[in-house]
Amino acid sequence: MSETRPAAMLCEDTLLRELRDWVGIETPTTDARAVNRLVDRIEGDAVSSGLRVQRIAGGRNYGDHLLVETPWGEAEEPGILVLSHTDTVHPTGTLTGFPFRIEGDTAFGPGIYDMKGGALLAFAALRDCAAAGGRTPLPIRQLFVSDEEEGSLDSRPLIEAEARRAKFVLVTEPAREGGRIVTARKATARFELTIRGRPAHSGTRHQDGRSAIRELARQILELESITDYESGVTVNVGIVEAGTRANVVPAFARAEIDMRAPDSESCDKTVARILALRAHDPDVTVEVTGGLNRPAYKKTQDIEKLFSHAGRLASEIGFELRDLMTGGGSDGNFTAALGVATLDGLGVDGRGAHTLEEQIVISSLMPRGRLLLRLMQTLS
């Protein structure tokens, strides 16, 4: 399908106006009503653009998920799945101190980079496909999920069901390191470590106590020692909670642990090692729960072919497309693990994800939006 003149949605001024509106609707994962306000907006715009819409009620107290489809294509016809998420890590009220603003070629705002910018780019390209009046070689389905920032616990079955009727998956997570897209991601796992000791007065009966914090300290050293940069395995103890008062031998401690591994073999070995942790002090109990959250996303031959096709399109548009493997997880891990050719990091260029410096490069909007449009027009 030859490139047609982009319709009104895929132009910089329109994108910036819409992006200002999307950023202005705060969408923390934990606030379903807030997330649904953005879902309402997207649903209304999709319907008015002539797209088919299916809204799926969120479970586990998450917001609703939204499937937006081209008006052509049968239900089981293989197509292109575009994966996006509406939730962000920023709590309600962040806009008060960090409002949307533009400074030169940079736009700032909570969630603008991860990933409202990319989600909007694909949505604009999808609406332009519908407005063109023809049909793309494959039907296009954009799935907006509401819980990605907390591991897609509710939406994973929906993501995998849509992936099974897709020939290609395009993920609108933000670009990395100056515009690189993602063709591989590490597996991720999460664990909770709970330690129970014995309390005692730290002055008069210290010998009767069994310190949960002491045990936790030893466990942390053991966990952190698993990290091996050469093999690509990392273990991070990110949250610790323990103790009641300085003069009480602590009877309880807990930690939350993040693990990343480049492939299923190293992932399985590391998960087993963490789950097998045992107490150093026989009078203290150690319990570890958790496990694999997202499987490894490996660069297969099909992904290499898809990347090469995207690279040729990018050259025609006027920029070089480069790729990388990243340690961060996304919903693309689920689809790649099912064997579906997946390109990730197709969203906007920028930096500062999950911080109060989150920003995008405005001049990246049009070339990256055109790349998404051309992928929709040419993949078959």
CATH number for the domain that contains residue 254: 3.30.70.360
> Are both 166 and 195 inside the same structural domain?
no
Residue 236 amino acid letter: N
Q: What is the pLDDT of residue 3?
A: 55
Q: What is the pLDDT of residue 239?
A: 97
Average pLDDT by consecutive 10-residue portion of the chain (380 residues)?
Answer: 58 95 98 98 97 96 97 92 98 97 98 98 96 91 97 96 97 95 96 98 97 98 97 97 97 97 95 97 97 94 98 97 93 97 98 97 97 97
> Are both 202 and 168 inside the same structural domain?
no
- Domain end call among 294, 314, 336: 294
Q: HSE on the CB side for 323, CA within 13 Å?
A: 21
Q: Under DSSP, is residue 374 helix (H, G, I), strand (E, B) or coil?
A: helix
> Are both 175 and 312 inside the same structural domain?
yes
Which domain does 279 fall in, by range?
187-294
Q: How far apart are CA 65 and CA 234, in angstroms?
A: 32
Residue 205, in any domain of the structure: yes
Phi, psi for residue 293 in degrees, rounded to 5 = -105, -45
Number of domains in the chain: 2
Q: What is the pLDDT of residue 8?
A: 64
- Domain end call among 294, 315, 334: 294
- pTM assigned to the model: 0.90
> Are both 178 and 280 inside the same structural domain?
no
Residue 58, in any domain of the structure: yes
Strand pairing class (101-103; 187-196)? unpaired
- Domain end call among 240, 268, 294: 294
Quickly tell me which residue has 């953005």 as its tokens.
Answer: 38
> Are both 74 and 106 inside the same structural domain?
yes
Residue 220, in any domain of the structure: yes
Dihedral sign (CA 141, 142, 145, 151): positive
> Are both 230 and 315 inside the same structural domain?
no
